[in-house]
Amino acid sequence: MKFNFQLILIIAFIVAAVFGVLVFSGAIPIGGGSEGSLGTVVLWGTVPTALMTQPLEEFNDANPTFVLKYEEKSADTFDQDLLEALASGVGPDLFFISDDLAYGYANKIIAIPYASYPVATFKNIFAGAGEVFLTSQGIMAFPLSIDPLLLYHNRSMLDAKGIVFPPKDWAEFSIDVAKLTDKDDANTISRSGVALGQYANVTHAKDILAMLFMQAGNPIVTEQGDRLKSTLDTPVGTYSLPSIVQFYTSFADPNSALYSWNRSFASSVDVFSREDLAFYFGYASELQSLVNKNPNQNFFIASVPQIKDAKTKLTLARVTGVAVSSASKNINTALTAASLLSSTDFAAKYAAMLGVAPARRDLLAVPPTEDSFSPIFYSSALYARSWLDPSPVDTDNIFRGMVNSVLSNNLTESDAVKDASSKLELLLLK
């Protein structure tokens, strides 16, 4: 009896997924029926309700066969609130999910099978960063937005040093940092070229390191069978990870020509805003907050430096998608709503209200021309990638330990990477 029930449930999921795909492709038209005939589904997220009201009203008007209701949750407690709600059976039908939470929610999400939604179809519609939601079990979420990591730079500082354009590769970057860092005879830094090398006061330190690893060809984790495994201690890609850790920490080494940062500084985002830092690695979504911190600051953005002569480009990104809860009591409608939310109209509005790039390729092909920032957001989003982070807090501690053990001379770069890989492997086994 239990087996038959599970089989029926799986078949129902697949039928629902097929229905959602047919709706998404336009083979089954939505609209024209009695209002709310497919029921009501609830969507959870951390986007302020004030921003979501109009896009959702327009979404519901365009799809009158069901009703989508939105509930705003606190970003600080979203993960815990969602876990508790799903455990008690009162959770939402759908929820916005970020790439760094996807792994932890894999058993709470309806993974759409590739027989219903082929990988080729997914890749034709969504940019590569969205592939973080592709697993051996199926599609965990429909991508909505891509928030790429960028190189913010103080134009006044670059102009003063005769640097006409921001660096395109890490070799140029290193030369520019040396020029831009002001030090006295005692090697005391007064103005810095870049905040790298340390961990605690480098905003997005883990993400910067992850980007460097991935640029070198190492995916950090890889799926083998039904589980993820660490690749940090595996010779994958062109460059060894210990050499990358050495490059990163050299910016905090007083004996290095690249020395530009130490633990006495405030957080890099604050130092950048007070105009004592030339380069800042930040996300597209930070643009408005940086403007608000210092409206008079003369800064612009560029794509992040790449490995010299590399055949491909890569930056890290935060990716948001919409997932269907396996606890939903209206799975068919939830799947339909999820696929429609990732369609052109809503996806464009969602990305615009967050100040990031959309995940759809057709939208990335036509960047807005009203401002000078969006074209760079959109172009960076095309070659952005992410990784399945098993636990953001725990991996932050692992990366922190890797950097600090090298800075304190407790471990060599090679041993620090091995130690980080072992700890990541244990985390993936939990």
pLDDT band at 107 (very low <50, low <70, confident <90, very high): confident
Question: Is the same domain home to 165 and 307?
Answer: yes
- Residue 192 CB partners (closer than 8 Å, separation 6+): 180, 181, 260, 261, 265, 271, 276, 277, 278
Nearest to 339 by CA among 15, 21, 16: 21
Question: Is the same domain home to 279 and 359?
Answer: no
Q: What pLDDT is attached to residue 344?
A: 83
Tokens for 10, please give them.
Answer: 């799986």
Question: Is the same domain home to 138 and 241?
Answer: no
Question: Is the same domain home to 102 and 211?
Answer: no
Question: Is the same domain home to 63 and 115?
Answer: yes
CATH number at residue 68: 3.40.190.10
| Residue, of 396 and 75, whose pLDDT is higher | 396
Question: Is the same domain home to 242 and 287?
Answer: yes
Length of the chain: 430
pTM across the whole model: 0.90
**Mean pLDDT along residues 40-67:** 95
Question: Is the same domain home to 108 and 198?
Answer: no
Instruction: Please check the confidence at residue 154 and state whether its pLDDT lies above 50.
Output: yes
Q: What pLDDT is attached to residue 25?
A: 40
Instruction: Please check the confidence at residue 292 and state whether its pLDDT lies above 80.
Output: yes
SS3 readout for 134-164:
EECCEECCEEEEEEEEEEEEEHHHHHHCCCC
Q: Which domain holds residue 346?
A: 2-146+318-384
Q: What pLDDT is attached to residue 37?
A: 64
The whole-angstrom separation of Cα 337 and Cα 66 is 8
Question: Is the same domain home to 156 and 299?
Answer: yes
Question: Is the same domain home to 373 and 397?
Answer: no
Question: Is the same domain home to 215 and 360?
Answer: no
- Give how many domains the chain has, as a whole number: 2
Instruction: Please check the confidence at residue 3 and state whether its pLDDT lies above 50.
Output: no
Question: Is the same domain home to 414 and 365?
Answer: no
Question: What pLDDT digit, counting tens, does each position of 216-240 carry?
Answer: 999 999 988 778 999 999 887 778 9
